[in-house]
Every structure is written in C-alpha cells, then in structure tokens.
C-alpha cells in the first residue's frame, strides 16, 4: 500500500489482511449459530496456542490490563500474599493491581535491564507462604525475557499459583503453559496474537480454577468475575448460546482467523521464526554500534529489541525513521525513557519487514547525523535471515 508506514512497535502490530477482512464484515448477533461456532472454535484454538490442553480459556472485551485485572481479581482475597518477580514497568502494574485487591506484595528485583537468578526467586519463595507469584514473560519496557520455565516450575513445588503476563510474548516466545506449570497465562489481542486491540485473553489451569472455587469472599470486580464468565465460555465451546455481557463479535471472529493462521504455521515453527527475526534485528543494531537495554543477549526478548540512542542522537531519530517509512516506539521505562527506543517484531512481521526496518533505521541515523558505515546493519541482518 503506497504511503502506508510499516508499524514496527511492540503492539499494536501489523495485522494480516484476512484478519482485517473479518473485522469489516457484517456484525452478527452474538447468539447467531454462525457466531457460536466461531467463538467455540476460537476458544478451542486458544487452548492449542497456549499449549494448555487442560486449561480453561476466557476471551472478553478489553485490553491486556483487563486480562491482568481478571487474573488477580479472581485469585486474590484481601490479606493474601503475592510475590512479584519485577522486571520493569508492567511488573509494577501487576503489583498495583494485586494491591488494589488487598494482597500483601513482595518483590524480587534485578537491576534495570537484568532479571533475578533462579536462586534469588527460590530464596524469595522460601521467605513466606505466597498464594500467587507473578512473572512478566517479556517486559515490554526493558526487552528483558523472563526465565519462565525455571521460575514457573518452582511455583509447583511451592504450591504457589503462577500468573504470567504474556501480553508481549504469547504466540511468539516459547511458552508451554501446561508443561511449565503456569496457572494463568494472559495476553491481549493486539500483540503477537495478531488481532486489533480490544480483546483480553486468558487461559486458567486446573489449580487456578480450584483456588478460585475455594474463595471465601465474592470477587471484588463485577465485570471480570469468573462465576459469570465460566458458564458463558463453557456454553460457547459446547456450541450453545449464552449471555453475560456482549462479546466483541467482530474481534472474536478476527481472533478465530488469526489463531487458525498461527496454528497453521505451527507453534514450534513460530517460536523459531521469532528467534531468527530477533537475532537479525539485534545483530543489525550491534553492527550499527548501538547498545541495548537488556544486560546480556541470552536474557533479551525475541518479540522486541530495545536499542539505546547512540552518542549525539536523541528521540528525534524516530521522526527520521518514520519519514523513511517505518514507525518505531520510544522508551517506556520511566528511569531511562529518553535514552532508548523499541522495535517490535512479532506476528505476521516477515523477513522483508525486518530488512525494511533496518534500512529505515539506517536512513534515520544518517539524517540524525550519526557516523556509521551505511549498509552495515542491513548486511548483519541479512546474514541471519539467509542462514
């Protein structure tokens, strides 16, 4: 599409034309047989994408923050203890939500750009009897990837429920909800799931549902209460009509299309493709002489890259890159907001988009007066993509 810019931010991302077509189709009744079939299928597909055959999917109108709210509201009662493994902005948000529902929150922190070690997480779990531990799989503010498998498996030994904020990871980073002992994995439609903003998506495992059923007090939030949504999700999957609050019908239909595409690619192939795109972008950024926020390569996320502005360049760079056809995101973490920017590379993003992005970044750096060898970033990225 001439004149259209490539949207390479960590959500919303670029969406597939087949997904957008469904968004624009005539809206049906939420209890029309065609829609019941679509919603039922979307829920079944969520279970496959989450790799949680024993999980209960929920899809409601809202954003990722609502999915966080839903997880916490249904599992936390006042006075419960919660451990937040804090890797940045969205871990802080999770802590605020936990506190809003009356949890006593402790944090395990690491210096900005780093993540706690498994020993530090285990030591923290030893300190108190936590009902819930929360992990931000990819903290979008730092580009740091959690050691999710190791941390989540610990929570099984400690009988602590693990809530994973997978908003910037699910359907892109390796995440095996059932095998890794993750009790709730949540996301939003507009990131790697590949659907315009508007759906809060969550899969709850058996231990989470059991803890929910043992609650003593009612859920302190009307809209997200699983007592209201569980019968609705079960009904749609059984291809029966149900109503609590009107589902976002066009978004649900778009979700079904996108999940179908994700499963057609295959989860293993998808994880692998995101690793490769990430390596290409990170190699390009390094070849251009830019540092990154994550302290080490092996803890960097594969869904986004967080490069630091080089000496003498500031956020004006993003305007130059935009003029060259690609939209990138500025900094988000309050402590370093003006020192770095973010490149999202998830979902339908392909190798051509990666090269276009690095090309635009080089043009932007040139316009910003930065001294580098033109083409160095492109060559580094291409080397990984051709591999």
Ligand X SMILES: *Cc1c(COP(=O)(O)O)cnc(C)c1O
Q: Which residues bind ligand X (CB under 6 A)?
A: 11, 63-65, 90, 136, 140, 165, 167-168, 188
Q: Which long-range contacts (CB under 8 A, 24 or more apart) does 203-206 make?
A: 203/46, 203/47, 203/50, 203/52, 203/55, 203/56, 203/57, 203/58, 203/177, 204/55, 204/56, 204/58, 204/71, 204/74, 205/52, 205/54, 205/55, 205/56, 205/177, 205/178, 206/54, 206/55
From CA 256, how far away is CA 38, in angstroms rounded? Answer: 7
**Least distance (Å) from ligand X to the CB of residue 65?**
3
Q: Residue with the closest Cβ to ligand X?
A: 64
Nearer to ligand X, 64 or 116 (CB): 64
**Least distance (Å) from ligand X to the CB of residue 136?**
5
**Least distance (Å) from ligand X to the CB of residue 304?**
9
What is the DSSP-derived secondary structure letter of residue 42?
Answer: H
Nearer to ligand X, 73 or 378 (CB): 73
Q: What angle do CA 365, 370, 375 make, to 5 degrees?
A: 60
**Least distance (Å) from ligand X to the CB of residue 157?**
26
Nearer to ligand X, 198 or 364 (CB): 198
**Least distance (Å) from ligand X to the CB of residue 216?**
29
Nearer to ligand X, 74 or 382 (CB): 74
What is the DSSP-derived secondary structure letter of residue 55?
Answer: -
Category of 78 on φ-ψ map: left (φ > 0), alpha (ψ -120 to 50) or beta = beta
Nearer to ligand X, 187 or 249 (CB): 187
Nearer to ligand X, 10 or 247 (CB): 10
**Least distance (Å) from ligand X to the CB of residue 115?**
14
Distances (CA, A) of 251 to 69, 170, 233, 321: 20, 18, 16, 31
From CA 258, how far away is CA 189, in angstroms rounded? Answer: 10
């Amino acid at each position: 599409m001439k004149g259209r810019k490539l949207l390479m931010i960590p959500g919303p991302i670029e969406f597939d034309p087949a997904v957008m077509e469904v968004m624009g189709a005539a809206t049906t009744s939420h209890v029309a047989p065609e829609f019941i079939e679509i919603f039922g299928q979307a829920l079944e597909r969520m279970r496959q994408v989450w790799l949680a055959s024993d999980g209960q999917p929920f899809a409601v109108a809202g954003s990722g923050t609502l999915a966080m709210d839903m997880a916490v509201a249904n599992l936390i009662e006042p006075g419960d203890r919660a451990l937040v493994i804090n890797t940045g902005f969205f871990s802080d948000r999770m802590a605020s939500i936990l506190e809003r529902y009356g949890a006593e929150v402790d944090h395990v922190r690491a210096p900005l750009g780093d993540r706690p070690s498994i020993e530090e997480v285990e030591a923290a779990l030893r300190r108190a009897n936590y009902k819930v531990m929360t992990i931000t799989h990819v903290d979008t503010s730092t580009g740091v990837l959690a050691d999710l498998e190791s941390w989540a498996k610990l929570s099984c030994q400690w009988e602590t429920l693990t809530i994973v904020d997978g908003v910037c990871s699910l359907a892109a980073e390796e995440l095996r909800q059932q095998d890794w002992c993750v009790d709730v994995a949540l996301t939003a439609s507009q990131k790697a799931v590949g659907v315009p903003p508007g759906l809060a998506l969550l899969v709850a495992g058996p231990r989470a549902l059991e803890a929910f059923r043992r609650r003593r007090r009612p859920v302190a939030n009307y809209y997200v209460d699983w007592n209201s949504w569980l019968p609705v999700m079960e009904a749609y999957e059984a291809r029966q009509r149900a109503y609590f609050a009107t589902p976002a019908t066009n978004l649900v239909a778009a979700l079904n299309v996108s999940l179908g595409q994700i499963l057609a690619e295959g989860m293993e192939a998808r994880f692998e493709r995101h690793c490769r795109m990430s390596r290409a972008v990170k190699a390009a950024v390094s070849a251009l002489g830019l540092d990154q926020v994550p302290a080490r390569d092996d803890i960097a996320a594969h869904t986004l890259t967080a490069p630091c502005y080089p000496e003498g360049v500031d956020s004006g760079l993003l305007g130059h890159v935009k003029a060259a056809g690609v939209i990138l995101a500025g900094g988000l973490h309050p402590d370093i907001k003006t020192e770095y920017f973010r490149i999202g590379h998830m979902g339908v993003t392909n190798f051509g988009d990666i090269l276009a992005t690095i090309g635009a970044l080089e043009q932007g750096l040139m316009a910003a007066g930065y001294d580098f060898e033109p083409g160095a970033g492109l060559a580094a990225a291409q080397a990984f993509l051709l591999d």
